Chains A and B, each alone.
Chain A
Amino acid sequence: MIQLTRNDPQRVGALDYLLTGTMIAVTVYAATQSLGVLNYSSAFVSAALIGCLFSYAVTRLMPADKASLLSGIAYAAIGAFALFVNPNFLPEDNPQLVMPRFLVWLLVTGSFAMWQDSTLLFQAVPCVALLALVGVYDTFKGAVLCFFLFLLCLATLMGRAHSRLMMKQAVASGFRRVEMLKESQWRWVAGPEWALGSALAVVIISILGAPYLQESVQGIAGVVKFNPPVSKDIQKPAIFSGPSDSVTSKVGQGPRSLTSTIVFYATLDHPRYMRVATYNNYMLGGWGQRNPDGVGDNISQYARGQMKNPLTYQFKIEPVALATTGYPMPAEVSSLSDTRALEDVQDGTWRLKGGGPAPSLSGTAMQPEATLVPTKADREMPARFEPYTVLPPRSYRVAQLAEDVTANAKTDWDKANAIKEEIDRRCKYNLFAAATPERRDPVNYFLFESKEGYCDLFASSMVLMARSVGIPARYVTGYYPVRDEKDGQGRYVIRSSDAHAWAELFFEDAGWVVFDATEGAVSVPGSARGDATVQLWFETFWFRFIVIPAAMVAIGYLLYGLQNLIKAARETKIETSLKTARAYRRFETMLRRAVGHPRRLSQTSREYVDASKVELGPAYEIAQQVNTLFEEALFSPKVSEATLNSLEAESDRLKKALDSRPNPKKR
């Protein structure tokens, strides 16, 4: 039968594992964030925490000597595994990333072999190394915070380990009552709590001092230009909460972090593309607006005017967590219930005017007649709409491709569809596609080299190829309820992962028509449209089914232990105080018999003994000593078993002395 080992103050305890777990968790988190592998963050953190729990269980089940012997061997084996095996979890196989990869694996797997102080503390080494690398890469803003948290945990852990080491030294010195140390020799010690206090002071000093230091060395700082091995495709913000609505929108920037956070609810007749921002000017690998404020060309009004026999439909938008100033709207809005909080950008999009929460809005929108199939692009647009037709410089290859694929098309509509089909045929949809290398044009790279990408590349390619054959087109960002998810009220649930980009081509009689080139594209498994690329930590499998139950067990165990401690402390206190009281009653009885009268109420015990000097005779000195012991025992907060024993022994000595006194009657 498995026997739990007794709580030994000289062995690592639950708090130590909690501190180490936190230490490793923040380090691994910082590292994965810094390396851009956000989807591995929670898995690694969870695995490390499970490792800590496992190690704690081992220390509770295995005798100390065995654990200490095996811990080193197990850790060495794990270290070898981490060094030679370390499966690659990074999107790139860069040799310079071997070190952080090794360190992450060492931390995570090493947490399963921390069965003694030395291995527990050794984990700080890869932690410091990894955090230093995170600092060198400088790609994660929370690194400093993580480091401070790590430092606080490390200081407390080391303080506790030092106390345990000193306790072992106390035992080696021949001191037997180590459990009494904190009430005696160690009563005034600056222990682990002082270590934590010092670390807090250090953190404050660093927060105040580091900027000053950095400022003071600006003359010589930054002499070395370092290109971190972490490429830009993995330098991403932690969470991407919506489509771009800024003046410019870069494309081909690597995987986006799409969560399943609900952004808004939309009441629509069927799934529709909802614009947030539009762009007409392709430059330097991204989209921009020719008119920086985006207002002025009034293409929206022109588009509505182009529609023949338009149909109208109702819609309602109820924002939950809009992270953009662009307000998602379907096309083309003809009326809104309340426009006070919004500004019409005149390109078919709307944006919030100022601060404050985004209001819920309902309205009416127009769409071309359902049976209408446009054939001709609007090549006679007013001159102010020229930007929608401009092809960027050095797009010959894209133009050539467009012309090739549309050679047999008779109408503009056919051309547009041929282009879309060509893009679908050539390219795969992949949310985790790598970023476009520096100094390369994203559309060229996407169409002719990587042939893998996400919506922004599909849409950009569609726009540029359409313009190549004379069809006015623009790049649009927004949302599309690709999963057709509805709530109980029939509203479409629009999540962060529904963020999208598409192309809109301008046709006579129809206005802007959506061409989403991703529709027919083949998806890389697990990377289809609408998939979330990042699970929030509390939504992960690990957290829900392993960490939470394990944490509940741990909390239950801690509460159970705490209850036992309180109970034991109470029982000990009651028991010892009872024993002390009994011993004192015996002492008083002995004195009363010897002296012949009881202690007066106005007398202290010492006064009683002093006043009875004559009657006590040679036993007076012993009585004084015993009385001193009782004073200490009765008025000290805690009485040890040893003190009680010495009280009883001294009382026996007093009794013998009293008995051996010469009988006054005989004298």
Chain B
Amino acid sequence: MRQDTVYRRTGTLSSIRSNRAVAGTALGAAALFMAIVAVLLNSTALFFMGTALIATIGAARLQALLSVRGLRFERVAPPSIRLGDEVTIEITVWSEKAIRRPLISVYDALPPKLVITDRSPSLPIAPAFDIPIRSQYSFRPLRRGRFKWSGIVAEGSDALGLVTMQREYPTAVTTLTVLPRPIPVNLELPASLGYGINEASSGKARGAGLEPRGVREYSRSDSLRHVHWRSSARARQLLVKEFETGSSTAAAFMIQSTLGTEIGADGSTTLELMIGHATYLADIFLSQGAHVVFPGLESKPRFASHAERMEEIYELLTDVQANRKETLGQDAAESTGDLPHGSTVYCLLSVADRDLISAAVALRGQGVNVVALLYDASKFAKKNSRPFESATSPEFVTEITRSGVLPIVVPLEVNS
């Protein structure tokens, strides 16, 4: 159990609790002092005082000990939540003994990989004999994934709050799926590549369907070049032209998840940001009618509705961890035959991967466009990080540009 993460937003409470613990220790020391001096001086008054204080500490310890004995726990967590959402865990407690107890708190032994913030203390409760009493606590997860844990720690004290005791209890395994959260990103993607195509460049894209679909409200990622001024003047708000990219258009996302390429700590890592951006871009592409695939992560993507497909993507990206042996370039090379002609591959990477150069050449030969979304990993690096070459290094950018990859440096100061 990571006590340091407990009460991150209730520092005062924590300090008060530690003060009380100090008070308990001080009272114990005073009791000991009185007892020793009582014996040394043979002082009757001190014998009474010392006995009373020792008995008080003893009674407090006994109460604290009994408060965490004979309990039964059941935990209920929501099956899945989005990254960063507040999750409330409900814990039901039964007392198996017909005794009155002081208030107890519960501490869930969350798995170490589940990085969280804003963990609240649990609701203190007084367990009752054979009657379910419900406690709760909440936190915000900072990492995606599927997490399982079991066991719970009950922390009880005496009625005076002087002595605290803990006891661990087994519980059924609880599963929590933390889905990725789309992170908006403002990118100037080439129009013909299925992201806000304009008339000027439409002819350059091979196989892109260009039937106009109408106008829509301006959103933050839209280029000003696509604003339809006449409609905007009429509607008194910015409207942009939207084009049907055609059912044959496919956007493939490949995310760098090679072991050791995730730079950063806790929830602020390059991988988490790339996943968030990929989710966002996938949603945009799907809304524009493009077919979105994740080569390497799924074998046979099916054609489903926008909403269904997004659900699939959320589930898919939940499991992505930086633990693969293969490099992004190797994955891209492997998927060369799977991608349809005229589709675009978006490679999201933060650490330079030179395998991508040969893979890009092969992909270009198959008529697949390759766009590299580059993240400056140095901005995530901590002081003791091992050395790496950021994907935004000029050398690497030059090399991939030469191989026909369109490099786009993702602006981090806006989104991270």
CB-CB under 8 A for A138 and B43, given A117-B16, A131-B49, A162-B20: yes
Q: Which of A144, A189, A194 has the most CB of B within 10 A?
A: A189
CB of A100 to closest CB in B, whole Å? 15
- Which of A147, A191, A210, A221 has a CB less than 8 Å from the CB of B159? A191
**A216-270 interface (Cβ within 8 A of B):** 217-218, 220-224, 226
**Is B138 located at the chain interface by the 8 A CB criterion?**
yes
Contact B159 A198 (CB under 8 A): yes
Near A by CB (< 8 A), chain B positions 14-58 give: 16-17, 19-20, 23, 26-27, 30, 33-34, 37-53, 55-56
The verdict on A214 contacting chain B, using a C-beta distance below 8 Å, is yes
Is B9 an interface residue when CB atoms closer than 8 A count as contact?
yes
CB of A173 within 8 A of CB of B47, answer no
CB atoms of A155 and B51 under 8 A apart: no
For residue B320, CB closer than 8 A to chain A, the reply is no
Within 8 Å of chain A (Cβ to Cβ): is B125? yes
Instruction: Check if B52 sits within 8 Å of A202, measured CB to CB.
Output: yes
Residue of A nearest to B42 (CB): A222
Q: Is B358 among interface residues, defined by CB-CB distance under 8 A?
A: no
Interface check B13, CB cutoff 8 A: yes
Contact A221:B39 (CB < 8 A) given known A169-B13, A188-B126, A206-B48: yes
Closest to B37 in A: A136
> Which of B128-136, B165-173, B263-271 is near enough to bind chain A?
B128-136
Contacts of B59 in A (CB 8 A): 198, 201-202
A441 to chain B, nearest CB (A): 31
Interface presence of A185 (CB below 8 A): yes
Does B101 make an interface contact (CB < 8 A)?
yes
Q: Is A173's CB under 8 angstroms from B123's CB?
A: yes
**Does A626 sit at the interface, judged by CB under 8 A?**
no
- Give A117's nearest chain B residue, CB to CB: B16
Known: A158-B161, A173-B136. A143 touches B45 (CB 8 A): yes
Complex Cα–Cα for A193 and B1 (A)? 33
- Whether A135 lies near B51 (C-beta < 8 A) is no
| Contacting pair A194 B46 (CB below 8 A) | no
User: B103: which of A155, A189, A209 is its contact (CB, 8 Å)?
Assistant: A189
Contacts of B157 in A (CB 8 A): 162
- A175: chain B residues within 8 A (beta carbon): 123, 136
| A84 contacts the other chain (CB 8 A) | no
Q: Report which of A168, A188, A223 forms a contact with B127, defined as CB distance below 8 A.
A: A188
Please report the total number of B residues contacting A with Cβ < 8 Å. Answer: 65
Enumerate chain B residues within 8 angstroms of A291, measured Cβ to Cβ.
Answer: none
Is B213 an interface position by the 8 A CB rule? no
Contacts A118-B19, A162-B20 given; indicate if A173 touches B121 (C-beta within 8 A): yes
Tell me, yes or no, whether A581 is within 8 Å of chain B by CB.
no
- The answer to whether B161 touches A162 (Cβ under 8 A) is yes
> Which residues between 126 and 180 of chain B lie within 8 Å of chain A, taking CB atoms?
126-129, 131, 133-138, 157-162
**A147 touching B52 by the CB < 8 A rule?**
yes
Determine the distance from Cα of A147 to Cα of B162 in the docked complex, in whole angstroms: 19
**B124 touches A (CB below 8 Å):** yes
Residues of A within 8 A of B129 (CB): 188
Looking across the interface, which residue of chain A has its beta carbon closest to that of B133?
Answer: A185
Measured CB to CB, the nearest residue on chain A to B162 is A158
Asked if B105 CB lies within 8 Å of chain A CBs, one says: yes
Q: How far is the CA of A186 from the CA of B126 in the complex (A)?
A: 5
Contact between chains at B159 and A190 (CB < 8 Å): yes
A172 touches B49 (CB 8 A): no
Residues on A with beta carbons closer than 8 Å to the beta carbon of B105: 169
Q: Is the CB of A172 within 8 A of B7?
A: yes
Q: Does B204 contact A (CB under 8 A)?
A: no
CA distance A191 to B104 in the complex (A): 12
B100 touches A189 (CB 8 A): yes
Chain B residues whose CB sits within 8 angstroms of the CB of A354 once the complex forms? none
Q: Is there an interface contact between A189 and B48, defined as CB atoms closer than 8 Å? A: no
B120 A136 Cβ-Cβ under 8 A: no
Distance (whole angstroms) from the CB of B51 to the closest CB of chain A: 4
**Which residues of chain B have C-beta atoms less than 8 A from A158's C-beta?**
160-162
- Cβ-closest chain A residue relative to B161: A162
B30: which A residues are within 8 A, CB to CB?
128-129, 132
Contacts of B26 in A (CB 8 A): 125
Report the separation of the CA atoms of residues A476 and B38 in the bound assembly, to the nearest whole angstrom: 42
- Asked whether, in the complex, the Cβ of A172 is within 8 Å of the Cβ of B39, the reply is no
From B20, B102, B131, A189 is in contact (CB under 8 Å) with: B102
- B-facing residues in A110-164 (Cβ within 8 Å): 117-118, 121, 124-125, 128-129, 131-132, 134-136, 138, 143-144, 147-148, 151, 155, 158-159, 161-163
Q: Kindly report which residue of chain A lies nearest to residue B103, judged by CB atoms.
A: A166
Contact B126 A189 (CB under 8 A): yes
CB contact between B55 and one of A118, A147, A185, A209 (< 8 Å): that residue: A209
CB distance from A232 to the nearest CB of B (A): 17
- Select one of B41, B51, B100, B121 contacting A224, CB under 8 A: B41
Is the pair B7, A189 in contact by a Cβ cutoff of 8 Å? no
Q: How far is the CB of A131 from chain B (nearest CB, A)?
A: 7
Cα-based distance from A121 to B10 in the complex (angstroms): 21
Cβ–Cβ contact A202 & B16, under 8 A: no
Query: CA–CA, A648 to B166, complex, Å?
Result: 43
CA distance A569 to B161 in the complex (A): 30
Answer yes or no: B122 CB below 8 A from chain A CBs: yes
Q: Does A195 contact B (CB under 8 A)?
A: yes
The answer to whether the Cβ of A165 comes within 8 Å of any Cβ in the partner chain is yes
In whole Å, how far is B203's beta carbon from the nearest beta carbon of chain A?
Answer: 57
Q: Does A271 contact B (CB under 8 A)?
A: no
Complex contact A188–B49 (CB within 8 A): no
B39: chain A residues within 8 A (beta carbon): 217, 220-221
Identify which of A129, A165, A173, A217 contacts B137 (C-beta below 8 A). A173
Which chain B positions have C-beta within 8 A of A118? 16, 19
Asked if A205 and B160 sit within 8 Å, CB to CB, the answer is no
Tell me if A373 counts as interface (CB < 8 A to partner B). no
Please indicate the chain A residues that have their CB under 8 angstroms from the CB of B37 in the complex. 132, 135-136
Q: Are B125's CB and A214's CB within 8 A? A: no
B63, A223: Cβ atoms under 8 Å? no
**Alpha-carbon gap, A161 to B158, bound state (A):** 12
B55 in contact with A195 (CB, 8 Å) = no
B9 with A172: CB separation less than 8 A? yes
Residues on A with C-beta less than 8 A from B9 are 172
Bound-state CA distance A175–B34 (Å) is 43
Distance between B174 CB and nearest chain A CB, rounded to angstroms: 18
A601 within 8 A of B: no
Chain B residues with CB below 8 A from A226, complex form:
41
Q: How far is the CB of B14 from chain A (nearest CB, A)?
A: 10
CA distance A221 to B121 in the complex (A): 48
Known contacts A118-B16, A174-B88: A223-B40 contact under CB 8 Å: yes
Q: How far is the CA of A149 from the CA of B135 in the complex (A)?
A: 37
Contact A210 B48 (CB under 8 A): yes
Question: Nearest B residue to A226 by beta-carbon distance?
Answer: B41
CB of A310 within 8 Å of the partner chain: no
Please name the residue on chain B nearest to A162 by beta carbon.
Answer: B161
* B41 neighbours in A (Cβ, 8 Å): 136, 138, 222, 224, 226
Query: Smallest distance from the beta carbon of B265 to chain A beta carbons, Å?
Result: 26
Residue pair B138, A190 in contact (C-beta under 8 Å): no
A306 to B43 Cα, complex, angstroms: 56
Give A510-558 interface residues, CB cut-off 8 Å to B: none
Do the beta carbons of B138 and A174 come within 8 Å of each other?
yes
Closest 8 CB pairs of A and B: A162-B161, A222-B42, A189-B126, A135-B46, A221-B42, A195-B159, A206-B52, A158-B160
Q: Could you give 10 example pairs across A and B, Cβ below 8 Å?
A: A131-B49, A132-B37, A136-B46, A138-B41, A165-B161, A173-B138, A175-B136, A186-B126, A222-B41, A224-B40
20 further A-B pairs in the complex, CB-CB below 8 A; given A162-B102, A169-B10: A129-B30, A132-B33, A135-B45, A135-B46, A135-B49, A136-B46, A138-B45, A147-B52, A148-B48, A159-B159, A162-B20, A165-B20, A168-B13, A172-B121, A173-B138, A174-B136, A185-B125, A192-B159, A198-B160, A209-B51
A: residues with CB less than 8 A from B are 117-118, 121, 124-125, 128-129, 131-132, 134-136, 138, 143-144, 147-148, 151, 155, 158-159, 161-163, 165-166, 168-170, 172-175, 185-192, 194-195, 198-199, 201-203, 205-207, 209-211, 213-214, 217-218, 220-224, 226
